[in-house]
Structure 1
Amino acid sequence: MSRPHAHVRTAVVWEILREALEERAEAAGRETLEVLDTGGGTGNFAVPVARLGHRVTVVDPSPDALFALERRAAEEDVADRVRGVQGDAHGLFDVAERGGYDVVLCHGVLEYVDDPAEGLRNAAAALRPRGGTLSVLVAGLGGAVLARALAGHFTEAQRALTDPDGRWGGGDPMPRRFTAEQLTELVAGSGLEVGAVHGVRVFADLVPGALVDTEPGAPEALARLEEAVAELPAFRSVAAQLHVLARTR
């Protein structure tokens, strides 16, 4: 199965998620899984997951994003397997079923919610009691510090290190960032068993786009490099994003 849009920035997470879906389907003895994508927006992951044959419910607060999701699902001929509903992590069970999903995606959500711990507890509660899988993707603190330093903004890089939310200043568009330790503590606190922790976009945000676009074979080579370092702590600590897989006990 090809990666969504063959995009280097999503390559690591997509490969991990695809394998997790295969394992969960085999364990459940079913080809079709019920998947919940919280904050799924326009369907960057929901539509490819549906192409694998699974049913996906996308919860997002933006009606515009949900409209784009509907159009995208129709274009990809998976409209019968993708359902979009307006809502957010705080009121998740106003629009989603508690304990009703084999897999829950929580990508790019915890940075924006008022209470990340509550958001994770709700995501965990949406999983089936035994064997459910949670995929969490957040902005990483180390990657932001490295990026600001390489751009010559040394004071901002240091400020991000000491700020409680990992922000480098008033102009920072990201409300919150996490270290791997903070993220795994949150996931464990939701009652789930933490699996592998991955660094995502270690190099992809730092390499000039023109170089990747013009060098033959560069996108795939960069994707392979990202996959090779994803679980190495030294590289994970400077990744732009952090990814965790967790399971219900």
Structure 2
Amino acid sequence: MSRPSASIRTAVVWEVMKDALDRRVKATGRDVLEVLDTGGGSGNFAVPVARLGHRVTVVDPSPNALFALERRAAEAGVADRVRGVQGDAHGLFEVAERGGSDAVLCHGVLEYVDDPAEGLRNAVAALRTDGGVLSLLAAGLGGAVLARALAGHFTEARQALTAADGRWGAGDPVPRRFTAEQLTELVTGTGLEVAAVHGVRVFADLVPGALVDTEPDAQEALARLEAAASELPAFHSVASQLHVLAEVGPR
């Protein structure tokens, strides 16, 4: 089954993050922020952030992803504001500055690191000591359970539901999934306060792409539905991804 466009699936995260960056600009009086994108890959978020005028450092273990990032940044005309370096969350300060970022993006990282708590602590330690913004995005447990059940894989759905890591079996490509409660506990464990939690891809992964492509105004209507549902805790438990925003005060 084809899926709705990537823009619909990431719109909620982008809007929340953009608003947080705007608030940070107003709070600091600086138009250009220093943004660190851990696991930023080919620049799905880094390039749009750079187009806002900010400087972005992307840390990713994949040379191929960093090559794609360089090409995408050049095509968008922001090559001078995007820097890619090879590394990972556990060795973050071998390639990035401790306490040097106004905002840190930690998207699709905690699912894959050996120690999610340590990886998140490193991300938080990269924030400036006078404040900053953490954007955390990770795979949601409930969305995977729902998707496997709707596909008729009931045993796998139950396995994901009961497994400590949220995996549905040996063939599951995602090493770990989280509930909203688990993610917020990880964030508060770093000393930060959670500003907002959003469910991401509540419906977008379940709606046939052909339906969205053929029905008039369907994409816009789906985007509005996703935005409305994302803020309701009742839908966090069935979202494919969960987004946690923490805005740091002076420490």
TM band (smaller chain): over 0.9
Cα separation, 2, equivalents of 1:122 and 1:115: 11
Matched to 1:141, the amino acid is: L
User: More deviation in 83-92 or 209-218?
Assistant: 209-218
Cα separation, 1, equivalents of 2:125 and 2:245: 15
Partner of 1:243: 243
Cα separation, 2, equivalents of 1:60 and 1:70: 12
Partner of 1:24: 24
Partner of 1:121: 121
Q: Does 1:36 align with 2:36?
A: yes
Gaps of 5+ in 2: none
Using the size of structure 2 for normalisation, the TM-score is 0.96
Q: How does 1:71-110 map to 2 (within 5 A)?
A: 71-110=71-110
Gaps of 5+ in 1: none
What secondary structure does 1:68 align onto? helix
Deviation at 1:166, TM superposition (A): 0.2
Cα separation, 1, equivalents of 2:26 and 2:131: 11
Moved over 4 A (4+): none
Partner of 1:148: 148
CA RMSD of aligned residues (A): 1.0
Using the size of structure 1 for normalisation, the TM-score is 0.97
The 1:93–1:238 alpha-carbon spacing in structure 2 relative to 1, beyond 3 Å, is: same
What secondary structure does 2:194 align onto? strand
The 1:185–1:39 alpha-carbon spacing in structure 2 relative to 1, beyond 3 Å, is: same
Partner of 1:204: 204
**Aligned pairs, how many?**
245
Partner of 1:61: 61
What secondary structure does 2:77 align onto? coil
User: Could you give the per-residue CA deviations for residues 104-144 of structure 1, whole angstroms, max 9, x where no partner exists?
Assistant: 00000000000000000000000011221000000000000
Deviation at 1:187, TM superposition (A): 0.7
Which of structures 1 and 2 has the larger relative contact order (alpha carbons within 8 angstroms, sep 6+)? 2
Cα separation, 1, equivalents of 2:130 and 2:179: 28
Deviation at 1:21, TM superposition (A): 0.7
